[in-house]
Structure formats: structure tokens, C-alpha cells
Amino acid sequence: MKRKPPTKGLPRLARPLTLLAQTEQLLRQAILDRRFPGHRLPPAAELAEELGVSRETVRKAEEVLEREGLLVKYRRKGTLLQPPPMAFRKGAGRSTLLGYLQAEYPAAGGGGEEATNELAALMLQGALREAGRAGCQLAVRTAPHTELDRAFRGLAGGARLRGIIFASCGEEKLVRDALGLGLPTVLLDHDLHLPRISTVREDSFQGAGLAVRHLAGIGHSRIAYAHWRLSDLNPWRLEGYRQALRDLGLPRRRAWELYTELTEAGAARVVQELRSMTPRPTALLCFNNRLARLVIGLLRRGKVRVPEDLSVMGGGGEEVDGLVCHQADWPAMGRKAVELVLRASHPDPAPEHHLFPYRIRPGRTTGRPRI
């Protein structure tokens, strides 16, 4: 039985929190509210009895809060509380400075080029525009994804922030650190199932399905997909590709799912694997426009005609003349992230989750397959 595509307009379902996550959340909020007298946490046995959980659950929750800087354990003195500085908790709404931390993912073998540079610039452009309109400033930091912790400490330890936006960053520890400081936090171009966190990202699931339907609509049934090898950063696009094939009753083969770097070397491996396939796909969907551009160049250099011999689509990003692709409104995503972080600085805000749809951008790189 075929699965139906997601229905528009339905509310997002929240995943139930584990006992550990609930314990962390309750203790964190109690510390922020200064509910424990004497700046001291009660013994774990008392907390376990009061909360109805095991001592081990309390101990693990305390370890998380200790890493966030909310408490410190001393031998023979017990667990002492270190609430966030008042600048972060009270009066933060009066600040006009917003933190913006952009993660960079170097394309291996790509001479230092960032795989997501084009999209990052578009989102930041929208964020800067919205911050200016709201009378705020952005304190922008960019850092390789392996060095985000240091960049975050530099942001949070500087001038008083009203809130922070994590762009293209999916590191849960950093987000929890921001929550521990009492900073209103928004995730841009990523998603984590954490309480009190608003998210803004493009609807990769919908976009990939839209691309597959476009190719199927002009007669393609053997459709391959070249996915970024860092697949955990965007699992939704691959899921959308697979679901669309199922919905349309089209064949799906593991060999047609190619994992690669977003570089010329990665594009060369994609072309080499395509040439060796039997039967050979008649269409290729690429993770982004950069990869599509590189693949098309190599195909034409090898006397493979696009789209006569192989149709190629891009998955968004840089502007490539004549490329058929699907694009989301990246600047609007940046604007929305600023709106949400300002809204989150008000008392008891409800988290919001926004998905931006893709639209097909016409071009000259797809056509009907040869029979």
C-alpha cells in the first residue's frame, strides 16, 4: 500500500521527552528561577524521591547541567549553583544585539571552499535586513563546524545578547549551552527536537519530491540522486526522493543513490559511477546546484549530451545559467529567524517551526528521455 505524502496544514507532532530530558528541563528551569535556597542543589536522593525518578537519572541530569555551567560539584560541600549572569536573564529584552553563529562545512579536497557558502550568504543577507528593520544589530561569527564551541563562547562572553541564531548548526550540546545561559535560541537551516527551540529550514523533503515529480512528468522512470556525503546534516532530502519514487511507483535502486563530496573530484566519481551502471539512469538529481554544475561540465567534456543523453537537475543554491533546479527563499528564512528570536525574548514564548517550500526554476538541462 502506497504511503501518502504529508498533508499540509497539520500540526507538528512533538516527540515525548525521556525521563532524563524531563529531569534536565525541570532542574534547569528551577535553577534559572532561583528556587533552591542557599545556592545549593538538594542531595540526589531527595531530588529522586521528589521527582519520582532514580538517583541515576538525577545524577546524569546533573552532569548535563554541570557541562552547561549551571552548577559545580565540590567534594564535602555538595553541589553549588551557578545561575547565568543577570545580564542574560533579566532585562535581556532591552538589548538590541543578536548573536548569529554560522557553521561552515569545508568541502574536502575543494581548496578550502565551503560547501554551503552561497546559501549561508543568502540567509545572512535576509537576517541582516530584518535585524536592521527591527532596530537591532547582528554580532556575526563564522567557524568550521569543528570549532563552533570556541566561537560560541566568544559570542556569549562578549556584549549582552538578546538572543542567538545558530545557522546550519546541528550540535545539540551548543544549543543546550545557550539554553543554560537563558538565551532565546533559534535554529536556522537545521532542526533539533528540543523544548523551547524554534526552527527555520527549507522543506527538503518537499523539494526532492517536487524534483522527482518534475522528471517523472516528462517521462523519466530511472532517476538517480547524488547526495552530499554528510547525509546526517540533511536526511530529509534523501527521504523525499525515496518517498516520491514510491508514490509514483518508480523503481528505486541503492546503486542509484550516490554519496559524494560537493567538489570536482566528487562530481567525477558521480559521473564515473553513472557510466558503469546497467541499466543507466536517464535523469540525475543533484544535492545542490554547485554539484549539478560540476557534473554537467564533466559530462559534456566526456561527450555526454545534457539533456539529450542525461537530464540533470540541481537542488538549490548558487545561480547557474540554464540549470533546471528547485530553489527555496533563503533570504526569507534569515528574516524569519530574526523575527522568531526577537519573539522568543518575550516571556513564555511558544516555540515555532517553519518549513519553507521549494519551487521549480526552469532551464535547459532536462528533457524527455530517449527511447
Phi, psi of 249 (to 5 degrees): 70, 30
Domain with CATH 3.40.50.2300 in the chain: 94-202+330-357, 204-327
- Residue 109: pLDDT band by 50, 70, 90 thresholds? very low
CATH homologous superfamily of 204-327: Response regulator (3.40.50.2300)
Distance of CA 79 to the CA centre of its chain: 35
Residues of the chain with CATH 1.10.10.10: 19-82
Q: Identify whether the C-beta of residue 162 lies closer than 8 Å to the C-beta of residue 136.
A: yes
Query: Quick check: 80 and 71 in contact, CB under 8 A?
Result: yes
In this prediction the pTM is 0.72
- With bands split at pLDDT 50, 70 and 90, how would you rate the model's confidence at 250? very high
Question: Which pLDDT belongs to residue 76?
Answer: 54
Q: How confident is the model at residue 90 (pLDDT cuts 50, 70, 90)?
A: very low
Q: Are 227 and 208 in contact (CB under 8 A)?
A: no
**pLDDT of 217 strictly over 80:** yes
Average pLDDT over residues 114-127: 80
pLDDT in tens, 263-322: 899 999 999 999 999 999 999 999 999 999 999 999 999 999 999 999 999 999 888 999
* Res 7 pLDDT > 60: no
Residue 341: pLDDT over 70: yes
Q: Are 363 and 322 in contact (CB under 8 A)?
A: yes
Predicted confidence (pLDDT) per residue in 37-88, tens digit: 766 788 889 999 889 899 999 998 888 777 666 676 655 556 766 655 443 4
Fold of 94-202+330-357: Rossmann fold (3.40.50)
Q: How far is CA 322 from CA 94, 217, 307, 312, 355, in A?
A: 48, 19, 11, 11, 27
Q: At residue 6, does pLDDT exceed 50?
A: yes
Distance CA 114, CA 81 (A): 41
pLDDT for res 223: 98
Q: What are phi and psi of 149, to 5 degrees?
A: -60, -45
**Per-residue model confidence (pLDDT) at position 171:** 80
More confident residue, 118 or 154: 154
Peptide bond into 106 cis (omega under 30): no
Query: Looking at per-residue confidence, does 170 or 56 come out higher?
Result: 56
In the block, cell 535502486 appears at 253
pLDDT band at residue 175 under the 50/70/90 scheme: confident
Average the pLDDT over 147-153 and give the result: 87
Which residues 6+ apart lie within 8 Å of 356 measured at CB?
A: 200, 201, 202, 203, 328, 329, 332, 333, 336
Q: Does residue 215 register a pLDDT over 60?
A: yes
Q: Are strands 283-286 and 137-144 parallel, antiparallel or unpaired?
A: unpaired
**Amino acid letter, residue 64:** V
Considering 68-77, 90-99, 156-165, the range whose residues carry the highest mean pLDDT is 156-165
343-355 pLDDT, tens digit each: 987 766 788 999 9
In terms of average pLDDT, the best of 143-157, 253-267, 338-352 is 253-267
Alpha carbons 57 and 78: distance in angstroms, whole number? 18
> Is there a contact between 226 and 260 (Cβ–Cβ < 8 Å)?
yes
Q: Note the pLDDT of residue 366.
A: 98
Residue 231: Cβ within 10 Å count? 13
Which regions of 38-153 does DSSP assign to beta strands (E)? Answer: 40-41, 71-74, 78-81, 97-104, 137-144
Domain 19-82 has CATH 1.10.10.10: yes
* pLDDT over 50 at 258, yes or no: yes
Averaged pLDDT for residues 237-250: 97
Per-residue confidence (pLDDT) for residue 13, from 0 to 100: 53
Q: How confident is the model at residue 29 (pLDDT cuts 50, 70, 90)?
A: confident
DSSP state of 326: E
Tens of pLDDT, residue by residue over 192-204, are: 877 778 999 999 9
The answer to whether 185 touches 341, Cβ cutoff 8 Å, is yes
Between CA 223 and CA 232, with CA 227 as vertex, the angle to 5 degrees is 135
